[in-house]
Amino acid sequence: MSTNASNKKRRVTQADVARRAGVSTAVVSATLNPNSATGVRVSQDTAKRVRAVMRELGYTPNPIAQSLARGKRNILGVFTYESVFPSERGNFFYPMLRGIEMQVSGAGYDLLLFTSAQTAEAPRQIFAGGSNRLGVADGAILLGQEPDSSELERLADEGFPFVTVGRRHSGRVELNWAAAGYAEATSEIVSHGHELGHRRIAYVGGATIREQQQDREAGFRSAMHRLGLDQGPDCCWHIDPETLDAACLESILSRRVTLILAETLKHAERLEDLLRDKGMYVPQDMSIAVLGTPLEDTKSILRWTRFEAPREEMGREAVRLLLAQLDGRLNGPAQTTLPCKFIPGDTLRPVTDGH
């Protein structure tokens, strides 16, 4: 019985096969890749003989060497700043990963998950130790929020092909992404509210503003403008759920708002708590819609009127864009916005006369 433990016997190499078959390594290589338009030609007989020797010796080409020689790896990187398979976060990345796998599978690429550039203390980085681990791959897909957007710029500067899932903006370089249409989805919810008779609508979002939050707010503002519901600049609140207090709610209520768009479920729940303290209930006394889906899997989201990002489709599209880039089918920046799915829920109701 042989064991597969560290077998130090040298791997069978192309040269071994060549020697045994009485041909040059070029012939072996050409036998292996028959359809590559190289100058080397192999007769049927020779090819058959070479293949026999390969089997006999158990030869298997070294993919690393192939990659180096070809300058192509057939590997797509997937990089996340957090754990790829989080536990607390539920399976937030899962649909995206599934989309990525679906699209990549059959395209002849493998998926490389970058887990190494991480120690117990230091967070994950692309440029760990000055070197870009992503380089093993032909290109990469970036998932999740990066703590430091300058890494993206550096990556782009290097000419490394990559696509982010979720919109990213840089003033300096043009980035590629497959994103959810948060602006459109938010706009749609405003229209929906309008149809239900809501005229005074507030937007309550977090204090830190990234691209995704920008999109939501932009969608809100443009819809309000379009519907002639402009209420001046102060119909948006930027405050984290933890610091959202009664005073803040007062300032919202003082504007006689009937519908609140809450950026996150946490905002919505916090608002509901504060409203309850005042004897007001959702949705009888106040409609609330949530602008998205929480990162963590939770049942409590189910009753809320909201929309959902097409996570699986975003993964697929990111792969499409990346492959197009690698094939040279694309020269300009590639940016796709995919529609979110509206979910009616139970927290957005028509305005009652009593309002």
Partner DNA sequence: CTCGTTTGATAATGCGCTTAATCAGGGAGA
Partner DNA sequence: TCTCCCTGATTAAGCGCATTATCAAACGAG
Please count the other Cβ atoms lying within 10 Å of the Cβ belonging to residue 144: 21
Burial of 187 (0-12, 13-18, 19+ CB in 10 A): buried
- Is the Cβ–Cβ distance between 57 and 24 less than 8 Å? no
Q: Which whole-number Å values give the CA distances from 174 to 22, 135, 168, in the listed order?
A: 53, 20, 9
> Which residues fall within 8 angstroms of residue 333, CB to CB, at 6 or more apart?
174, 175, 176
Instruction: Write the interaction track for a second copy spanning residues 11-50; mark x where CB under 8 A is met and - where it is not.
Output: x--------------------x------------------
- Choose the contact partner of 175 out of a second copy, DNA, none; CB within 5 to 8 A by kind: a second copy
Task: Tell whether residue 112 is a contact of DNA (CB under 7 A).
Answer: no
Spell out the alpha helix ranges (H) of 196-353.
211-226, 246-253, 265-277, 311-326
In 3D space, the residue among 152, 157, 160, 92 whose CA is nearest the CA of residue 314 turns out to be: 92
> Which residues fall within 8 angstroms of residue 351, CB to CB, at 6 or more apart?
196, 197, 198, 199, 258, 287
* Residue number with CB closer to a second copy (102 or 207): 102
Task: Tell whether residue 209 is a contact of DNA (CB under 7 A).
Answer: no
333-352 positions binding a second copy, by CB under 8 A:
333-334
* Residue number with CB closer to DNA (90 or 135): 135
Task: Tell whether residue 38 is a contact of DNA (CB under 7 A).
Answer: yes
- Is the Cβ–Cβ distance between 288 and 68 less than 8 Å? no
Tokens of 138: 């032909």
Taking only Cα atoms into account, the Rg of the chain, rounded to an integer number of angstroms, comes to 28
Task: Tell whether residue 25 is a contact of DNA (CB under 7 A).
Answer: yes
Q: Which of 196, 218, 330, 338 binds a second copy (CB under 8 A)?
A: 330
311-350 positions binding DNA, by CB under 7 A:
none
* Residue number with CB closer to DNA (68 or 113): 68
Task: Tell whether residue 74 is a contact of DNA (CB under 7 A).
Answer: no
CB of 139 to a second copy, least distance (A): 9
Task: Return the axis-axis angle of helices 14-21 and 25-32, rounded to nearest 10°.
Answer: 110
The helix/strand/coil state of 240 is: coil
Task: Tell whether residue 137 is a contact of DNA (CB under 7 A).
Answer: no
Query: Scanning the structure block, which residue is given the tokens 């993919």?
Result: 63
56-75 positions binding a second copy, by CB under 8 A:
58, 60-65, 67-68, 73-75
* Residue number with CB closer to a second copy (152 or 202): 152
Task: Tell whether residue 328 is a contact of a second copy (CB under 8 A).
Answer: yes
CB of 26 to DNA, least distance (A): 3
136-195 positions binding a second copy, by CB under 8 A:
136, 155-162, 172-176
Tokens of 113: 């998950």
Task: Tell whether residue 132 is a contact of a second copy (CB under 8 A).
Answer: yes
- Is the Cβ–Cβ distance between 291 and 189 less than 8 Å? yes
CB of 65 to a second copy, least distance (A): 6
Instruction: Write the interaction track for a second copy spanning residues 219-258; mark x where CB under 8 A is met and - where it is not.
Output: ----------------------------------------
Angle in degrees, CA 152, 154, 156, rounded to 5: 70
> Which residues fall within 8 angstroms of residue 223, CB to CB, at 6 or more apart?
186, 187, 188, 190, 191
CB of 296 to a second copy, least distance (A): 15
Instruction: Write the interaction track for a second copy spanning residues 91-110; mark x where CB under 8 A is met and - where it is not.
Output: x--x--xx--xx-xxxxxxx
Task: Tell whether residue 40 is a contact of DNA (CB under 7 A).
Answer: yes
Task: Tell whether residue 71 is a contact of DNA (CB under 7 A).
Answer: yes
Which residue type occupies 100?
I
Task: Tell whether residue 24 is a contact of DNA (CB under 7 A).
Answer: yes
Residues that bind DNA (CB under 7 A): 10-11, 13-15, 22-30, 32-33, 36, 38-43, 45-46, 59-62, 65-66, 68-71
